[in-house]
Amino acid sequence: MKKIKVGIIGGGAAGFFAAINCAEANKEAEITILEKSSKLLSKVKVSGGGRCNVTHACFNNNELIKNYPRGAKELKNAFSVFSTQHTTEWFKQKGVQLKTEEDGRIFPVSNNSQTIIDCFLHEAEKNKIKILLNSPVLRIKKENDKFILYVSDKELLFDKVLIAAGGYSKADSYDWIKGFDHEIISPVPSLFTFNIPQSKFEGLQGIAIEKGSVKILGSKAEQSGPVLITHWGLSGPCILRLSAWEARAFHSSNYHFKAFINWIPEFNEEKLREVFIKYKSEHPKKFVVSNPLFNLPRRLWERITEIATIEYGIKWGDMPNKKINKLLEELIRNSIEVKGKTTFKEEFVTCGGVSLKDVDFSTMESKKCKGLYFAGEILDIDGITGGFNFQAAWTTGYIAGKAMAV
C-alpha cells in the first residue's frame, strides 16, 4: 500500500465514515480529520431525538432511491456498492447492536446516539486517525499534485482531500470550493415544519395522528403519514416529507401557501358519507361532539366539530345534512394557510450544494480536480426523514474512503 496523506474536511458522519474505511483499506495512509468547530459528530448526537436514526430498513435499492428528492439517480449505483444492508452489517461487525422499529427506522439498541459516536471515536483511535478541532479550512490550493489546506495560521499538505463539510444554508458559504470551478446549486432548506399563525388548532399542541394526509393547494404535491400539531403549526413525518419534496417550490413562495389536511385519508367522501348515515341511523341519541369517531383524539375531534359549527348538545339523530356536509369537509379537506417555516438548527438539511454532474459516483472524485473528493450533505443530495440522509452519508463516505486509499 502507498504511503499517502489524506485530509478530510468535516468531522461529521460522512467524514468519519470515509476516514475509517480509508484507514482500513490502507494501513499506510496518514489520515487527518479537520473539524472547524470544537465538536465532533454533532448531527449524529442530536438525530432521532438523541437516539441516532442510523438508516432505514429498506433493502431494495429501487425502493430506497424513492426517498431522495435529489440524488436518486446517482445514488442507485452507489447503493449497489454500499447499501442499507451493508450499513447494518458494518455496525454489527463493530459491535453496535441495532434494532428496527415499526416504521422502518433503525436505531442502536441502546437508544443513545453516543453509542454511534463512541464507535466512530474508537475506530478512529484504533486506526490512528488524527483529529484537529477548531480547524476551519479557509482555502484549498493544488500545487504539483499536492493539496495545500490553509487552516487558520497553518498550511497543511495532503495527497488527497475529501470535502465532507456538511450542508450550508447560504450560497456564499461554498465560495472556498469554487476555486476548482465546481458548480454550486443554490441551497434552500429541506426538512422543516409548517408555521400556521392563528391556527385553528391552537392549544392542541402535542396531539398526533398516525395516518394523515396533506395536499398543497394548486399543486400535485401530497404526502401521507403521521401528523403532529405543534405550538407553531404542524410537524411530523408527513409534513417533513412534503418539505423535502417541495423544498424549492416552498422557497419560491416565500413559505406562504395553502394546503388541505385529511385527518382520515382511508375514507373517501362517498365512504365517509355512508359511515355518517349508518351511524346516524344506529346511534341517533349519541351526542356528536362528545363521541369521537375514527379513533381521532377526543380534543381534536371536539375542535373539528367546533370548526364545523356543531353545537355541543346536538345528537346524531338531529344532525341536519348541512351540518353533516360541513363535518365531512372539515375531516377530509381541512384548509390551512402556511406562513413560514421552522427548521431544526442542529439537524439542518439543505437542498443544494456541489452539483452532482461534477462528481464521479464510482469514486466520489471530482471531475474537475483529480485527488479531490466529496461525500455527504456538501453534495446536492438530500433524503426525506427516517434515516435516509445518514444512509447517503455512509454510502458516499464509504466509496470515497475506499477510493482515496488506493
Pick from 110, 116, 101, 122: nearest CA to 54: 116
Dump pLDDT digits (tens) for 315-347: 999 999 999 999 999 999 999 999 999 987 655
Dump pLDDT digits (tens) for 215-240: 999 999 999 999 999 999 999 999 99
Please report, for the chain, the start and end positions of each structural domain, with discontinuous segments joined by +: 5-189+346-405, 191-264+336-343, 279-332
Pick from 334, 335, 338, 167: nearest CA to 242: 338
pLDDT value, residue 347: 58
Q: What is the pTM assigned to this prediction?
A: 0.92
Is the pLDDT confidence value at 115 over 90?
yes
Is the pLDDT confidence value at 171 over 80?
yes
pLDDT value, residue 349: 86
Is the pLDDT confidence value at 362 over 90?
yes
pLDDT value, residue 345: 62
Is the pLDDT confidence value at 88 over 90?
yes
Is the pLDDT confidence value at 361 over 80?
yes
- The pLDDT mean for the chain works out to 95
Q: Which long-range contacts (CB under 8 A, 24 or more apart) does 302-305 make?
A: 303/200, 303/201, 303/204, 304/263, 304/330, 304/331, 304/334
Number of other CB atoms surrounding residue 4 within 10 Å: 18
Dump pLDDT digits (tens) for 366-380: 999 999 999 999 999
Is the pLDDT confidence value at 253 over 80?
yes
Split at pLDDT 50, 70, 90, the class of 136 is very high
Residues of the chain with pLDDT > 90: what percent?
A: 93
Is the pLDDT confidence value at 208 over 80?
yes
Is the pLDDT confidence value at 359 over 80?
yes
- CATH tag, 191-264+336-343: 2.40.30
pLDDT value, residue 2: 85
Q: Which long-range contacts (CB under 8 A, 24 or more apart) does 108-111 make?
A: 108/51, 108/52, 108/54, 111/51
pLDDT value, residue 346: 58
- CATH tag, 5-189+346-405: 3.50.50.60
